Amino acid sequence: MRTTFRTQAMAITKRDLMRERRSGEVLWVTLPFGAIALLLIPIAIGTDRPTLRAIGIGLFWVIVMLFGVLIAVRQAHTETQAQRDVVALAGIDPAAGYVGRALASFFLLIGFEAVLAVVTVALYDVPLDGWIWMPLVMVLVGAGLSLLGTLAASIVSTGRSASALVPLLVAPLSVPLLIGATQTFEALRLGRSSLTWTLMMTIVVLLLAIAGVLSARTLQESG
Amino acid sequence: MVENGTIVSLQDISVRAGATHILRNVILNVQPGEAVGVFGANGAGKTTLLRLLATLLKPASGSGVVLGADLNNDERYEVRHRIGYIGHVPGLYPEMTLDENLSFIATAMGIDGAAVASSLAAVGLAGAADRRAEVCSHGMQRRAEFARILMAQPEFLLLDEPHSALDGSAVDLVDDLVRQTIEAGGAAVLVSHDRSRVDDLATFSVEIAGGTLS
């Protein structure tokens, strides 16, 4: 009758992706706004090509962080107490719930990053030096943001002032990911090793995963 | 069904929300084969009592055991899958169909997928399995929740206003579910305003007022 951690986590992931597919919040709201933000900036600052090329990659990561946070924390306002009760009484391990929700956000964030990367290359004429590192950095940023957002959503879903707290929690903690992502490409542009930055992002991801898994039961309890 | 006798034993349990006492010094014992009716005005603490019994809340003071698990420690996580709780707000995901809602729970609990269709059929929702929960009436959503309970076959039922929004046939179905559970050696706690209907099912009843049982 009882199931494994993996089965429970995958059931949660499938549920979240199914709900997203039906509601279309990421596809029809967050993604277009992210793309529009990238479009508006050249209009605001002018279309000087060297300037756009210089700021393109940095702007891409800023937009990914700002809008990616919305994707990662969307569950804070889409799950009711009654739904959380049903999940708890199904005997789902809270840590499996955390991993499953983070995994669903990760898949959505990877898709989001991929679309915005194409838009950035097209609009900003970004040089493709070091592009081979792009998938790794996208995965690390996607994993970090999804784990961080899921943790923040779990924390705020226990309180009444919920959504207002999310940016306060997520913004400062996502800074290491933003710095790591931008500095990886800056290092590549200058012909230096980017290993330190990718290592830093990996450590951040691991710490967030450990923090989320270890605190999952406590957070569910206080809900 | 239940080893070792008592299904619920609460001794001087209190539950607080911040500084406010929601339940005070509650004493309640439920044995296998018993159904308990809980009555009280709005805000009396009925739902909090059900959520405490469902192991979803931790007592602020006192001691309690549900299905052999101490409410004050992590044992309570191990018995949750044996509890069938239906609150007054449906816990379905509105974007998902009734079938998908139940399949999610079946997968998470390791229940055979065939039980989803048979449970929906048992509550008269076979023809609505592919309908999204958000377009189902409140009564249909309640039926779907009972299908979830049927599927999981819990030993301890906790039902908040179990007959609310249900038509005659569904009311009979709920009553049958309660009777089958207690006949199998389980137990049920029913919170309701409809005293006459719950009195038919209950072994004994308690009143709750201001968070205190009498």
Which domains, from first to last, does chain B contain? 8-213 (3.40.50.300)
For residue A169, the model assigns a pLDDT of 80
Nearest CA in chain B to A19: B95
A86–B91 CB contact, under 8 Å: yes
Share the mean pLDDT of chain A. Answer: 89
Contact (Cβ atoms closer than 8 angstroms) between residue B66 and residue B29: no
Contact (Cβ atoms closer than 8 angstroms) between residue A38 and residue A44: no
For residue A153, the model assigns a pLDDT of 86
SS3 B132: strand
- Is the pLDDT assigned to residue B1 strictly greater than 60? no
For residue A170, the model assigns a pLDDT of 83
The Cα B81–Cα B83 span in angstroms is 5
* Average pLDDT rounded to a whole number, residues A92-112: 95
Question: Which chain A positions have a beta carbon within 8 Å of B95's beta carbon?
Answer: 18-19, 22-23
> What are the residues whose beta carbons fall under 8 Å from the beta carbon of A55, sequence distance 6 or more?
A124
B110–A14 CB contact, under 8 Å: no
Question: Which chain A positions have a beta carbon within 8 Å of B160's beta carbon?
Answer: none
The Cα B47–Cα A36 span in angstroms is 47
The Cα A191–Cα A199 span in angstroms is 18
* Average pLDDT rounded to a whole number, residues A182-201: 90
Q: Output the six-digit token pair for A215.
A: 């605190």
Contact (Cβ atoms closer than 8 angstroms) between residue B89 and residue A79: no
Q: Output the six-digit token pair for A82.
A: 């009654």
Q: Which of B51, B100, B152 sits opposite A18 (nearest CB)?
A: B100
User: How many CB atoms are closer than 10 A to CB B95?
Assistant: 19
pTM here is 0.90
A164 touches chain B (CB under 8 A): no
Query: What band does A74 get if pLDDT is binned at 50, 70 and 90?
Result: confident
The Cα A56–Cα A43 span in angstroms is 13
Percentage of residues in chain B having pLDDT higher than 90: 73
Per domain, the residue ranges of chain A are 5-221
B132 touches chain A (CB under 8 A): yes
Q: How many residues are given for chain A?
A: 223
* pLDDT tens digit sequence for B104-123: 999 999 999 999 999 999 99
B51–A14 CB contact, under 8 Å: no
A89 touches chain B (CB under 8 A): yes
B96–A8 CB contact, under 8 Å: no
Give the best residue of B104, B116, B148 to mutate against chain A (max A CB count within 10 A). B104
User: How many CB atoms are closer than 10 A to CB A44?
Assistant: 6
* Average pLDDT rounded to a whole number, residues B18-30: 91
B104–A11 CB contact, under 8 Å: yes
Contact (Cβ atoms closer than 8 angstroms) between residue B92 and residue B101: yes
Give the best residue of B58, B75, B77 to mutate against chain A (max A CB count within 10 A). B77
Question: Which chain A positions have a beta carbon within 8 Å of B110's beta carbon?
Answer: 1-3, 7
CB-based burial of residue B21 (10 Å sphere; 0-12 exposed, 13-18 middle, 19+ buried)? middle
Give how far Cα A33 sits from Cα of A53, A65, A66, Å: 21, 13, 11
The Cα A50–Cα B73 span in angstroms is 62
Give the best residue of A86, A92, A99, A161 to mutate against chain B (max B CB count within 10 A). A86
What ipTM describes this predicted complex? Answer: 0.91
Query: What band does A69 get if pLDDT is binned at 50, 70 and 90?
Result: confident
**Which residues on adjacent β-strands are paired with residue B190?**
B37, B159
- Is the pLDDT assigned to residue A161 strictly greater than 70? no
What's at B112, amino acid-wise?
A: D
Q: CA nearest A55: which of A162, A170, A160, A189?
A: A189
- Is the pLDDT assigned to residue B2 strictly greater than 60? no
- Is the pLDDT assigned to residue A105 strictly greater than 90? yes
